[in-house]
């Protein structure tokens, strides 16, 4: 039986599934329920400075994108950091940590960009017995307008500076949470590393407007006839998040920087994918908000079954295993040639592959009068669009041509050797093959 | 063979082998991978799910469906088996339309529930077919437990007790373990010897010895079991069949439906099994439907199922009634048998129309019949059993009987509702109580 115990920058938890800093972790009540349901750790909802807490809107805070059958694919929110007094949160954190010593409790923190603010609050929070800090440099709405959240995360120098203050103020691990609302995720990640951060976590939410009310002519969620951009999350953002995780993991300068992966993780497979790309653990929010805390049971059973099947004894065995296979386009093997194949037994003759290929791709699928669909190898460029639009999983697959086999499209035999763009004759910058 | 559905009397080989094979094929064929994913996708993962509450064994249905949806049907099977070790058979025989699927929120919303039973079958078949058994025994306790009856209740109890490290001996009167799963369920609900394969798979946990051909009161005494074992669990079912109590009942061609169903399940070749041209089944429960439908599928020309009260009082679910009707069984209600008529063998049977309170109307009807199956309920058999209540062994919520050290569950005990799944739950819960009692 696979061991799911997790050690992320020295923070131990019974499994690698943490709840991200967000509404599900705002209160002792929720966090206790989460731990009872099986979550390995929580990043407590972001704490702000002492004094009167922030206030939230009193109208709707969330907007959503639904897929077929009203499946929630993307969620956005305009909620701010915790709106409960700091001392209340600290008392509750201390009680929870005392009762769940084996679970991870991380404090998310966001205070103004002043050294004394950060250096005063961190030791105060550390008294709760929490296991580490996550610096919220990510929230894109509300707090950013006040010079915090993503306003800090978008300026690498600020990230470095605040991370350094925090490392001076505490011995506990410091995780910097990154915003995706930037041009290149490596700049903030490198800044966090320079500042001495123990790890980064990403992604925070993405600036978004999920829908427009066409009667009121206002973005949703609408507050008294007006709306504002909110932070987008959920399954829809997973591809964006995974790319950013991979970019940090494969960048030589940041390759050793531990990553806590966040962004649309809903199933064990999502978690395994993030971890294969280099995340040491994962954080989840939208899935819990959609289905409840119990959802973690599937993540635990699924990940351990998969690890058993693959022979991985601990999560460290597979973390980062896919990272070396993330490369630049120019290094992809141009001599690797595939052709689509339609399994006629599985085909239900809907014709979506035909429409997609005929109208928008390479006219490489033939349709007979009795609705039999076949691939024209002499036209197929193996774009994979037919595979992706086919409603039957596994019905259309890609067959790899053997070396020496004729590619009917180009009338040339498949080359046995690896060949990429850097050495391709059409590349004006091509170097001679060695 | 030259017999056809028109051949007079009780004859075998009324249909061609190919027709029989088709007729007795799987009633709900297993989902393929694609169908399972599409069906699983419809589950909303409800909180405190109504389906789970409706399941007598409390299977975590939303969790197992999600495990199917995320590509881990083996984990789904484990979720099912941890609550119901006979989850494979229950997936086939549970009247889901009156249990989990009836309360599915999508049944309420769209009139089309998530197909929980078929999803359960998909997951459990996957795991059973790997041959792997997902549970391990705890360290041996040295305690010995006798389980009488290798049906759903007994097997469920035996498995749970073996899991706790106790040594279990299961006694059964028949030649094979399985109880009603093996002998009492329509063949099209459990094809390819599934009941037998399920028992073999269940026994892989170890620590269970099955002794067949051992019947209580016939070479096996309760006193002996009490003396030799640390605890006894009775899951002996209902061995007796109720009589019609009318004239002519002893004529040839008047048989017990349970025997017909058992013979059919054990038949090597369905073509050898004789069936009447005009068959009348008396009763309104699952056994009556199973017998009537199978009589029709064997090639009987006319099959009537006659029940003494109204349709809504029948114990057979609406799905079962519709199944019977779709196979060509004629359902006649509000008619009580009055006399079996014939010279030596039954020729016809006379009924009197009765209202829902069984008040006779004085109007009678005669149905031609060369074979009559009685399916009007079964009774507990045996002497020297613990205290009875309304003809069944009296038990409390944990399966304890009036006798210290003897537990009971399944059809033979009070509290059940004659469902496989309820028997499994009762066997499991009694095992928990036995374990607690032995560990105290």
CATH architecture of the domain formed by B33-130? Orthogonal Bundle (1.10)
Q: How far is B398 from chain A (nearest CA, A)?
A: 27
Q: Which residues pair with A283 in a beta bridge?
A: A18, A262
Distance, CA of B66 to CA of B85 (rounded, Å): 20
CB contact under 8 A, A298 and B63: yes
Q: Out of A130, A139, A233, A347, pick the active-site residue.
A: A139
Residue-wise pLDDT for A99-131, tens only, equals 999 999 999 999 999 999 999 999 999 999 999
Residue keyed to tokens 């749970």:
B160
Distance, CA of B188 to CA of B213 (rounded, Å): 27
* H or E element, residue B224: helix B222-228
Q: What is the percent of chain B with per-residue pLDDT over 90, rounded to a whole number?
A: 96
Distance, CA of A44 to CA of A31 (rounded, Å): 8
Which class is domain B144-239+380-439? alpha beta
Residue-wise pLDDT for B262-285, tens only, equals 999 999 999 999 999 999 999 999
Task: Quote the pLDDT of residue B433.
Answer: 98
Task: Quote the pLDDT of residue B1.
Answer: 52
- Give the residue-averaged pLDDT of B349-371: 95
CA nearest neighbour of A105 among A131, A74, A141? A131
Residue-wise pLDDT for B303-315, tens only, equals 999 999 999 999 9
CB B71 within 8 A of CB B122: no
Task: Quote the pLDDT of residue A433.
Answer: 52
B269's tokens: 């070749």
Identify all chain B residues contacting A302, using CB atoms and an 8 Å cutoff.
67, 70-72, 75
B159 has a pLDDT exceeding 90: yes
pTM: 0.92
CA nearest neighbour of B295 among B199, B218, B370? B370
Task: Quote the pLDDT of residue A142.
Answer: 81
- Does A139 qualify as catalytic in the annotation? yes
Distance, CA of B62 to CA of B83 (rounded, Å): 14
In CATH terms, the superfamily for domain A6-325 is: Aldolase class I (3.20.20.70)
- B67 touching chain A per CB within 8 A: yes
Q: How far is A426 from chain B (nearest CA, A)?
A: 43
CB A280 within 8 A of CB A173: no
- Quote the mean pLDDT of chain A: 96
* H or E element, residue A64: strand A62-66
Distance, CA of B23 to CA of B15 (rounded, Å): 10
A432 has a pLDDT exceeding 80: no
Q: How far is B343 from chain A (nearest CA, A)?
A: 58
- Quote the mean pLDDT of chain B: 95
Task: Quote the pLDDT of residue A150.
Answer: 86
CA B129 to chain CA centroid, nearest Å: 22
Q: Is the dihedral of CA B365, B371, B377, B383 positive or negative?
A: positive
CA B125 to chain CA centroid, nearest Å: 19
Q: Which residues pair with B250 in a beta bridge?
A: none
- Tell me if B144-239+380-439 shares its fold with B241-377: yes
Identify all chain A residues contacting B33, using CB atoms and an 8 Å cutoff.
393-394
Chain B residue whose CA is closest to A391: B34
B46 has a pLDDT exceeding 70: yes
Residues 6+ apart with CB under 8 A from B76: B63, B64, B65, B67, B68, B123
Pick the CATH number of A329-423 from 1.20.210.10, 3.40.50.300, 3.40.50.2300, 3.30.70.20: 3.30.70.20
Task: Quote the pLDDT of residue B2.
Answer: 81
Distance, CA of B23 to CA of A360 (rounded, Å): 48
Distance, CA of A233 to CA of A265 (rounded, Å): 10
Residue-wise pLDDT for A185-227, tens only, equals 999 999 999 999 999 999 999 999 999 999 999 999 999 999 9
Q: Give the start-end residues of each E strand in B125-197.
A: 144-148, 167-172
- Give the residue-averaged pLDDT of B221-246: 95
Task: Quote the pLDDT of residue B435.
Answer: 98
Distance, CA of A316 to CA of B203 (rounded, Å): 37
The end-to-end CA distance of chain A, in Å, is 48
Q: How far is B125 from chain A (nearest CA, A)?
A: 17
B129's tokens: 């077919």
Domain range summary for chain B, segments of one domain joined by +? 33-130, 144-239+380-439, 241-377
Among A14-23, A230-239, A257-266, B25-34, the range scoring the smallest mean pLDDT is B25-34
Task: Quote the pLDDT of residue B271.
Answer: 94
Distance, CA of A382 to CA of B95 (rounded, Å): 48
CB B12 within 8 A of CB B272: yes
CB B86 within 8 A of CB B202: yes
Domain range summary for chain A, segments of one domain joined by +? 6-325, 329-423
A434 has a pLDDT exceeding 70: no
Phi, psi of A379 (to 5 degrees): -115, -20
* B 5-34 → A contacts, CB under 8 A: 33-34
B225 has a pLDDT exceeding 60: yes
* H or E element, residue B196: helix B194-203
CB A209 within 8 A of CB A227: yes
Phi, psi of A427 (to 5 degrees): -85, 115
Chain B residue whose CA is closest to A303: B72
Distance, CA of B148 to CA of B162 (rounded, Å): 15
* H or E element, residue B306: strand B302-306
Exposure of B320 by Cβ count < 10 A (0-12 exposed, 13-18 middle, 19+ buried)?
Answer: buried
Identify all chain A residues contacting B37, using CB atoms and an 8 Å cutoff.
393
Identify all chain A residues contacting B45, using CB atoms and an 8 Å cutoff.
291-292, 294-295
Task: Quote the pLDDT of residue A87.
Answer: 97
Selected for mutation to probe chain A from B40, B62, B66, B80 (highest A CB count within 10 Å) is B66
Does residue A203 have a cis bond before it (omega within 30 degrees)?
yes
CA B14 to chain CA centroid, nearest Å: 27
Residue-wise pLDDT for A132-152, tens only, equals 999 999 888 888 888 888 888
Count how many pairs of residues, chain A against chain B, have C-beta atoms within 8 Å. Answer: 45
Task: Quote the pLDDT of residue B356.
Answer: 86
Distance, CA of B172 to CA of B218 (rounded, Å): 11
Residue-wise pLDDT for A268-325, tens only, equals 999 999 999 999 999 999 999 999 999 999 999 999 999 999 999 999 999 999 999 9
Between A69, A269, A346, which is nearest B70 by CB?
A: A269
Question: Is B241-377 CATH 3.40.50.970?
Answer: no
Residue keyed to tokens 């003897």:
B406
Residue-wise pLDDT for B125-134, tens only, equals 999 999 999 9
Q: What is the percent of chain A with per-residue pLDDT over 90, rounded to a whole number?
A: 94
């Amino acid at each position: 039986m696979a061991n799911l115990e997790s050690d992320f920058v020295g923070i131990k938890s019974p499994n690698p599934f943490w709840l991200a800093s967000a509404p599900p972790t705002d209160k002792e009540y929720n966090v206790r329920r989460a731990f009872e349901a099986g979550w390995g750790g929580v990043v407590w909802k972001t704490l702000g400075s002492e004094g009167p807490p922030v206030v939230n809107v009193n109208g709707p805070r969330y907007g959503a994108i639904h897929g077929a059958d009203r499946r929630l694919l993307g969620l956005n929110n305009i909620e701010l950091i915790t709106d409960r007094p700091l001392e209340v949160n600290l008392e509750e954190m201390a009680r929870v940590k005392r009762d769940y010593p084996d679970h991870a409790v991380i404090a998310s923190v966001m205070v103004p960009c002043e050294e004394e603010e950060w250096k005063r609050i961190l030791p105060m929070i550390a008294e709760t017995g929490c296991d580490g800090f996550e610096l919220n440099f990510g929230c894109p709405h509300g707090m950013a307008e006040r010079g915090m959240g993503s306003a800090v995360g978008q300026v690498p120098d600020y990230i470095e500076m605040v991370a350094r203050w925090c490392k001076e103020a505490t011995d506990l691990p410091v995780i910097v949470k990154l915003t995706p609302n930037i041009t290149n995720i490596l700049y903030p990640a490198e800044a966090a590393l320079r500042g001495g951060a123990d790890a980064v976590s990403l992604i925070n939410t993405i600036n978004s407007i999920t829908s427009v009310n066409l009667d009121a002519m206002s973005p949703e969620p609408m507050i008294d006839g007006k709306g504002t951009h909110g932070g987008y999350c959920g399954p829809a953002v997973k591809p964006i998040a995974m790319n950013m995780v991979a970019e940090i993991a494969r960048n030589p300068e940041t390759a050793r920087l531990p990553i806590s992966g966040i962004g649309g993780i809903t199933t064990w497979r999502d978690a395994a994918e993030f971890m294969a790309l280099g995340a040491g653990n994962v954080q989840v929010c939208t899935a819990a908000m959609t289905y409840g805390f119990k959802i973690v049971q599937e993540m635990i059973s699924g990940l351990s079954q998969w690890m058993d099947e693959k022979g991985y004894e601990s999560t460290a065995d597979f973390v980062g295993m896919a990272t070396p296979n993330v490369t630049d386009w120019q290094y992809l093997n141009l001599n690797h040639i595939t052709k689509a194949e339609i399994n006629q037994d599985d085909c239900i003759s809907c014709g979506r592959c035909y429409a997609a290929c005929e109208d928008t791709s390479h006219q490489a699928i033939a349709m007979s009068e009795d609705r039999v669909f076949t691939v024209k190898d002499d036209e197929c460029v193996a774009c994979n669009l037919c595979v992706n639009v086919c409603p039957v999983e596994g019905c259309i697959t890609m067959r790899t041509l053997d070396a020496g086999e004729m590619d009917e499209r180009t009338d040339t035999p498949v080359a046995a050797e690896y060949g990429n763009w850097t050495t391709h004759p059409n590349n004006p910058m091509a170097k001679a093959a060695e | 063979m030259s017999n056809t559905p028109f051949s007079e009397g009780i004859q075998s080989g009324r249909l061609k082998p190919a027709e029989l094979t088709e007729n007795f094929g799987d009633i709900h064929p297993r989902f393929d991978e694609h169908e399972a994913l599409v069906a699983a996708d419809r589950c909303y993962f409800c909180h405190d799910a109504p389906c789970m509450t409706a399941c007598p064994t409390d299977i975590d249905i939303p969790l197992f469906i999600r495990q199917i949806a995320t590509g881990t049907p083996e984990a789904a099977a484990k979720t099912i088996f941890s609550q119901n070790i006979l989850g494979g058979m229950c997936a086939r025989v549970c009247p889901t339309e009156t249990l989990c699927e009836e309360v599915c929120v999508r049944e309420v919303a769209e009139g089309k529930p998530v197909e929980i039973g078929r999803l359960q079958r998909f997951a459990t078949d996957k795991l059973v077919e790997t041959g792997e058994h997902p549970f391990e025994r705890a360290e041996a306790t040295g305690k010995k437990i006798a389980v009488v009856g290798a049906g759903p209740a007994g097997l469920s109890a035996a498995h749970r007790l073996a899991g706790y490290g106790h040594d279990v001996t299961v006694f059964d009167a028949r030649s094979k373990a399985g109880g009603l799963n093996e002998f009492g369920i329509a063949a099209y609900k459990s094809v390819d010897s599934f009941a037998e394969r399920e028992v073999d798979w269940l026994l892989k946990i170890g620590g269970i010895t099955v002794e067949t051909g051992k019947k209580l009161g016939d070479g096996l005494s309760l006193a002996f079991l009490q003396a030799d074992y640390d605890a006894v669990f009775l899951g002996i079912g209902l061995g007796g069949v109720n009589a019609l109590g009318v004239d002519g009942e002893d004529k040839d061609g008047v048989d017990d439906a349970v025997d017909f169903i058992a013979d059919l399940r054990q038949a090597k070749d369905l073509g050898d099994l004789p069936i009447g041209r005009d068959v009348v089944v008396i009763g309104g429960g699952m056994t009556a439907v199973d017998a009537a439908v199978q009589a029709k599928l064997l090639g009987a020309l006319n099959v009537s199922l006659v029940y003494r009260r109204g349709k809504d009082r029948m114990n057979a679910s609406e799905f079962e009634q519709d199944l019977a009707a779709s196979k060509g069984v004629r359902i006649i209600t509000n008619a009580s048998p009055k006399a079996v008529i014939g010279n030596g063998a039954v020729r016809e049977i006379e009924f009197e129309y009765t209202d829902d309170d069984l008040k006779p109307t004085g109007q009678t009807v005669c149905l031609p019949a060369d074979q009559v199956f009685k399916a009007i309920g079964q009774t507990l058999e045996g002497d020297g059993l613990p205290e009875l209540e309304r003809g069944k062994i009296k038990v409390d919520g944990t399966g304890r009987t009036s006798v210290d050290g003897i537990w009971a569950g399944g059809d033979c005990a009070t509290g059940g509702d004659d469902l496989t799944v309820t028997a499994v739950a009762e066997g499991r819960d009694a095992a928990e109580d036995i374990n607690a009692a032995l560990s105290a």
